[in-house]
Amino acid sequence: MSKKVVVPGDLVSAERKRLGSNVFVSDGKVYSKVLGISDDEGEVASVVALEGKYNPQVQDTIVGVVGRVVFAGYGININSYTESFMPKSSFREELKVGDIIVATINYVNELKEADLEYAKKMYGGEIIEVTPVRTPRLIGKNGSMLELIRRGTGTEIIIGKNGRVWTRGGNIPLLKKVVKFIEENSYKSNLTNTIEAFFGVLPPEAGAAKDKKGTTEESEVMDQAQENEESDRFNTTEGE
Amino acid sequence: MKMGKHGSEVVADYSKDKKRMDGRKGMDELRPIKIKVGVIPNADGSAYLEWGQNKVYAAVYGPREALPKHSQNPYKSVIKVSYRMATFSVPERKQPRPNRRDSEISKVLGEALQKAVFVENFPNTEISVFVEVVDANAGSRVACLTAASCALADAGIPMRDLVAATGTGKAFNEIVLDLNKDEEDAPDAVDIPLGILPQTGEIVLLQMDGVITKEEFNKALQMGIKGCKDIYKIQKSALKAKYELEELKLDSAKKAIKEEGPSQAGEEKAAKPEKAEKAEKTTKKEDKAKKVKK
Amino acid sequence: MRNTVLEYEVTKTVELARLGKRTDGRGLEEMREFTVEINKYENAEGSARVLLGKTEVAAGVKIEVGKPYPDSPDEGAISIGAELLPLAHSEYEAGPPSMDEIEIARVVDRGLRESKSIDFSKLCIKEGEAILVAYMDFYAINSDGNMFDAGSIAGLVSLMNSKLPKVDEKNRIVKHEYTGKLQMTKQPLLSTFVKIGGKIMVDPTYLEEKAAEARFSVASTEDGKLCAMQKGMGGSFTVDEVNYMIETGIKVAKETRKKLAKFL
């Protein structure tokens, strides 16, 4: 396993490889652009950032907050470099400052201004803020982590790639603690198993598949393949 | 009694004394340096640095929209450094209003960071870097630059390299690294603030005052570059200090989350299955999303 | 934008306040935990670093020789300054002092000065000619509300731990030589309150300040006397509310003094 904590300018791979996220090439070698965890196993050299603002990407789901209301529409705070504008016609109802919406990014220009579509207002609930670059870990492979924490806390959850988690109902205090734990330990190994073990045996849901077997000790060997697959999910940008 | 540069009375001859006024044995020895990052919760990135008696804070806000609009650059982010000193940071109280020295240092520090940061990635934005000196004893500007570069990395801003900086020069007949205040006041003092990109050795900050020969300058420069590389190691450890690549255990999770136990999902059916599926669909959609290259 | 206060947070804060609750779970008369570090800044004659909740303040004292005011030729002086550094919050800007900064400095100043706890005649070097002036400046390093009380604590601790420099026959400061500490006979402290949703609470966080309709600070000394007051923001208080805040302010300041005892 060749995961290391790297700072900007640290060497990620001495050989030419396909470029993943947050790396650059100089003199035939690959270096990290950010403070993060490097991975040069396989054919791709990449770094998962540990810190950083949200970089809007097309097709990302985001949780936005109405920051301004003007005649023609709304200035939506998406927790990035600039706000996004949405015309009033995008919504069935009138919004006011402070309203929470969930939307999808459908276009980003070279100034990182993002256009939104499929927006809908969320009623009630609250927002948990997390470091944007760590949201993929909250979602997990195919949404597995999201599912786990949703069932474990009985809450409704929508995770915005822009570092905002909208939640309503259920055990929100527990959810906040779990989210904080996952965020702070996002780069460590055995995270999925640990969270699974924490929630233990979850009662079956209507229509859900089998029970997950809870473990009380982490005597399981870490599933390297699963970890690697999950870490691929971190990549939100391709070789910039 | 030799009169010092600024009228103080300091006497020493390092070529004879073999040790420096503050007790350092090596002419190429740095004063002790300690760095802690992430110390200002409101900032996007921050660092607190102690270097000998120097104590400085650095905070980064950005990249954020550059205002006023006419200061925006459509091709890159503008790095703005504001260097200030607290009134009580120096032996004779400093006036609260910024002076010309503060402006000049702000300018050269901002320029030193330009090459390191991938400013092209954030057009129309500004990266604000605020450094505040709360205690000073020679070398506050290089301490600030060193701290600022850690704060930028802590903010997750992409960079080619960190920037490591130190003072170097001459005092009391010897080429010395990291002059302290007494050495800066030596009659033959030459002070050379130096900042480099440690991976390539490129120089991004270089100033000098005093009288020195070309050979002496080059000796001081080489000593300074080596000093910067040592400082780089300290910067790296400070940044990495928060992150331990360990394997998580259930106990740590229980302790951190304080075992409130999973909610009885059976009882608290907060979400109707249909809404829950929508949440799932949302995540599945983004997992399968193709990332479109700009 | 991590610290942009979102409107819905303000609404929540007001809703909780109406029920007598606070977002961080504190009681209405409860101050946040605080820590103090003294005399860390070596160039200052006295200094203190205070962490009140997440609000961090660095304060330092420089004592210089000055000329006395014509109407008080045998009295030294103090001068208080404050800066809300842009380091501390994305909303603070670099530039000339803002009205908020000036108000905070002046309220902390009055809290200290009007308590009459400094014997200014002890700061006189030569009547009519030379006095010692103690300049206390405090800087916001991270702002999570209530710079008033954080500044007041930092100011008090740094002044009480300040060394008085020795002065030579030409009225110049002799470096590295001191003639004792600055003496204060009383320990004035500010207590600051806000009114949210009709409820009054002490030691507001940044979010609580944003959700508040009115603010009130009162400085008191250990004998229960009041030495300064300031009402701020656009809302209003009833007479009963003011008296409640005065009573509570005296109480809270007493508790703070107990915790500060080892530093004073």
DSSP string for B116-143: TB-GGGSTTEEEEEEEEEEE-SS-HHHH
pLDDT in tens, C68-102: 999 999 999 999 999 999 999 999 998 899 999 99
In order along its 294 residues, chain B shows pLDDT tens digits of 344 445 555 678 888 888 899 999 999 999 999 999 999 999 999 999 999 999 999 999 989 988 788 888 989 999 999 999 999 999 999 999 999 999 999 999 999 999 999 999 998 899 999 999 999 999 999 999 999 999 999 999 999 999 999 999 999 999 999 999 999 999 999 999 999 999 999 999 999 999 999 999 999 999 999 999 999 999 999 999 988 888 888 887 888 777 544 444 433 333 344 444 444 444 444 444 444 443
pLDDT computed for residue B3 by the predictor: 45
Residues of chain C falling short of pLDDT 50: 1-3
- How many other C-beta atoms can be found within 10 angstroms of the C-beta atom of residue A176? 17
Cα distance from B34 to chain C (closest Cα, Å)? Answer: 15
Taking CA atoms, A71 is separated from A66, A84, A98, in Å, by 14, 15, 17
Taking CA atoms, A158 is separated from A123, B138, B154, B188, C54, in Å, by 13, 52, 27, 66, 29
B to C CB pairs, distance under 8 Å: 94
Annotate chain A with DSSP letters as a single string. --EEEE-TT-EEESS--EE-TTEEEETTEEEESSSEEEE-STTEEEEEESS------TT-EEEEEEEEE-SSEEEEE-SSSS-EEEEGGG-SS---TT-EEEEEEEEE-TT--EEEEEEEEEPS-EEEE--GGGHHHHH-GGGHHHHHHHHHHT-EEEEETTTEEEEESS-HHHHHHHHHHHHHTTTSBTHHHHHHHHH-SPPPPTT--PPPPP-SS--SPP-HHHHHHHHHTT--S---
B57 CB neighbours in chain C (<8 A) are: 87, 141
Partnered with residue C52 across adjacent β-strands are C34, C55
* Chain A residues 98-157 with a CB less than 8 Å from chain C: 98-100, 126-127, 129
Q: Is residue C2 part of a domain?
A: no
pLDDT computed for residue A204 by the predictor: 63
List the chains bordering chain A where 3 or more Cβ pairs fall under 8 Å: B, C
Tell me which residue of C22, C36, C6 sits closest to C257, measured CA to CA. C36
> Complex ipTM, two decimals?
0.94
Q: Which of C2, C8, C90, C207 to mutate to test the interface with A (most CBs of A within 10 A)?
A: C8
Domains (ranges, CATH) in chain B? 31-239 (3.30.230.70)
Q: Which of A25, A81, A108 to mutate to test the interface with B (most CBs of B within 10 A)?
A: A81
CA distance C133 to C63: 6
pLDDT computed for residue A209 by the predictor: 40
Averaged over successive runs of 10 residues, the pLDDT of chain A (240 residues) comes to: 87 90 93 93 91 94 92 92 90 89 94 92 91 93 92 94 94 92 90 87 54 33 39 39
Q: Is residue C136 part of a domain?
A: yes
Q: Is residue C135 part of a domain?
A: yes
Cα distance from A190 to chain B (closest Cα, Å)? Answer: 5
Q: Is residue C87 part of a domain?
A: yes
CB contact under 8 A, A98 and C4: no
Q: Which residue of B has its CA nearest to A11?
A: B199
Cα distance from C199 to chain A (closest Cα, Å)? Answer: 23
Range of the domain at C156: 7-263
Domain total in chain C: 1
CA distance B286 to A84: 20
* Chain A residues 147-166 with a CB less than 8 Å from chain B: 147, 150-159, 161
CA distance A23 to C155: 48
Smallest Cβ–Cβ distance between C58 and the set B42, B53, B134 belongs to B134
Cα distance from B267 to chain C (closest Cα, Å)? Answer: 27
Predicted model pTM: 0.88
A to C CB pairs, distance under 8 Å: 23
Tell me which residue of B30, B22, B53, B38 sits closest to B229, measured CA to CA. B30
H helices within chain B, ranges in order? 14-17, 100-114, 140-154, 181-184, 214-240, 250-257, 273-287
Residue B138, phi-psi category: left (phi > 0), alpha (psi -120 to 50), beta (remainder): left
Domains (ranges, CATH) in chain A? 3-51 (2.40.50.100), 61-122 (2.40.50.140), 126-231 (3.30.1370.10)
Contacts of B283 (CB under 8 A, 6+ apart): A61, A139, A142, A143, A146, A159
Q: Which of C37, C43, C174 to mutate to test the interface with B (most CBs of B within 10 A)?
A: C43
CATH of the domain at C216: 3.30.230.70
